[in-house]
Structures are given as C-alpha cells and as structure tokens.
Amino acid sequence: MNVKDKVTIITGAGGGLGSEMARLLCKHGAKVFILDLDAEKGQQTADEIVAGGGAAWFFKADVTSEADWKAAVDKAVETCGRLDVLVNNAGINIRKPIEEMSIDEWCTMMKVNTGSAFLGCKYAIPVMRKQGGGVIINTSSVCGLIGHKYTPEAYTASKGAVTLLTKAIASRYAKDGVRCNSIHPSTVDTPFVQILFKDPERKAERLGEVPLGRLATSADVANAVLYLASDEASFINGVALPVDGGVTCY
C-alpha cells in the first residue's frame, strides 16, 4: 500500500485505535500529525514512532474547537507543505440509554463524534482542493449502519450522521480530487471489553452476533485505514466500509 510521504492528520491518536493507525501509516512511510486532548499519551505515541525511525508530531488539540482545528491544519501545512490525508477518528461514548441521558450529554456526544468530523473536513478540504486532492477517512462504527440494542442511542445517532456526512463530502468534492470514506468497526478487543467479557453471558451475547466469531483487533481497523489512505484505493469514494466480521450482514 503506498502512503509514502503522505502528510496525515489522525485525531484521537494518542491511544486506542488512532495510535495503531498512526504506527501503521508511519511504518509505511507516511508523515503523521497526532492530534489528541491527552498531551502525555499523544507525545508518548509520537516519541515512540520517531524513536523507531518514523515521522510523527504531536499536536495538542480539542477536536471540538474550531480554533484548534485551524491551528492544527496550519501547523501540518507549515511543517510539511501540504495535507494529504485526514483521519477523523476521535470519539467518545457516554454509556447510557436514552431514558437516562440528559440533553447536555446528547449534545456532547454529537459535538465530539460528529462536530469534530465536520470541523476537520471544513479546515482540511480547502487545503486539499488547492493542492489538487486528498483523502478523508471518518471513523464511524457498525452503529453508524444499524441500530444496535446494546449501544446508547446518542452514540448511534452521532455515528449515523458521520456515515452520511462522509457520502455528502464524497459526492461534492470528488471533482476536486478529494476522496472521502468511512470505516465501521464492530467491538474491538480492548482491556475494557476483556473486563466486560469476564461475565460469560455477556461474552456469548456479543460474540454470538459476529459471523466470524471473534472481536475486531486494532490491527484490523488500522489496515482498513491504510488501504483507504493509499494510492491503491484511488477509485474508492463514498464507501461505508464495515470492519466487523459480518455483524452488519443481517
């Protein structure tokens, strides 16, 4: 997959899935700006990549802040002269069903999960159009494709909006060489999930819905991002790509 020298911004890349994406893209020669609220984790991820011979920078940013977005995109362009790839990955989940969720919590979910992708696209697209193209990848979820009974309704609504924001951008800006796709992971194997899985009933319940019979790994998700960012995906635009072992097949 060719992503060599592609100047890339990945949000929420201090830890979790975003840091795996950053490591993988850097391994393939991309130059990655790690955006995160958490300065300690973000700097550590960047330092590890640089120590391993990769090109990475940490930039502290709140992805809900318009000023932070403007500064981050300016920094990437100032440092590397362009912006080839934007991965809107940062997201949160307030784990409450609709009956228990306040309107403020709903707004927070929408702001972080959907507003961040809106702002990232708003500031990246003018740069990409000016230079003749670019790639945007939005991290949605299986919950951006289906209603899922174990997931908060606000999370599902926020991720569903990301799915169609992606397609709207894909259709409007393809003429400028900008491709925009979304990825839709199912539950990823993290320490949090392993704690949940100590309850055998919950484990059986969750694994039972995956035709391939296992959880996603962060490598599964990062590999999808690598492909969509690469030149090999040059005709892939407006796609909502499940990384879910078949969860959304039925």
Active site residues per annotation:
155
In terms of CB distance, is 139 or 181 closer to ligand NAD?
139
Residue 77 near ligand NAD by CB under 6 A: no
Q: How many residues bind ligand NAD (CB under 6 A)?
A: 26
45 binding ligand NAD? (CB under 6 A): no
Number of other residues whose CB lies within 10 A of the CB of residue 204: 10
Tell me the C-alpha distance between 117 and 120, whole Å: 5
Among residues 21, 22, 25, 36, the one that binds ligand NAD under rule CB under 6 A: 36
Nearest by Cα to 17 from 190, 247, 177, 179: 190
Q: Does 120 bind ligand NAD (CB under 6 A)?
A: no
Between 15 and 29, whose beta carbon lies closer to ligand NAD?
15
CB of 224: closest distance to ligand NAD in angstroms? 11
Residue 14 as a binder of ligand NAD (CB under 6 A): the answer is: yes
What contacts 146, CB < 8 A, 6 or more positions away? 247, 248
Judge whether 212 and 246 are in contact, CB under 8 Å: yes
Of the ranges 35-43, 79-87, 97-105, 231-239, which one interacts with ligand NAD (CB under 6 A)?
A: 35-43
DSSP 111: I
Burial of 235 (0-12, 13-18, 19+ CB in 10 A): exposed
Give the contact letters, 191-230, x = binds to ligand NAD (CB under 6 A), - = no. ----------------------------------------
Query: Using CB under 6 A, which of 89, 108, 151, 230 touches ligand NAD?
Result: 89
Residue 231 burial (C-beta neighbours within 10 Å; 0-12, 13-18, 19+): exposed
Least spacing, CB of residue 36 vs ligand NAD, in Å: 5
Nearer to ligand NAD by Cβ, of 45 and 230: the residue is 45
Handedness of CA 155, 158, 160, 162 (dihedral sign): negative
One-letter amino acid identity for 127?
A: V
What is the closest distance, in whole angstroms, from the C-beta atom of residue 27 to ligand NAD in the complex? 18
Query: How far is the C-alpha of 231 from the C-alpha of 20, rounded, in Å?
Result: 20
Examine residue 108 and tell whether it contacts ligand NAD (CB under 6 A).
no
Site for ligand NAD contains 133 (CB under 6 A): no
User: Which segments of 81-180 does DSSP mark as H helices, in order?
Assistant: 103-109, 116-131, 153-173
**Interacting residue with ligand NAD among 6, 9, 10, 16 (CB under 6 A):** 16
In the structure encoding, which two tokens stand for residue 86, read together? 């934007």
State in angstroms the smallest separation of the CB of 186 from ligand NAD: 6
By CB under 6 A, name the binding residues for ligand NAD.
11-12, 14-18, 36-38, 41, 61-64, 89-92, 112, 139, 141, 185, 187-188, 190
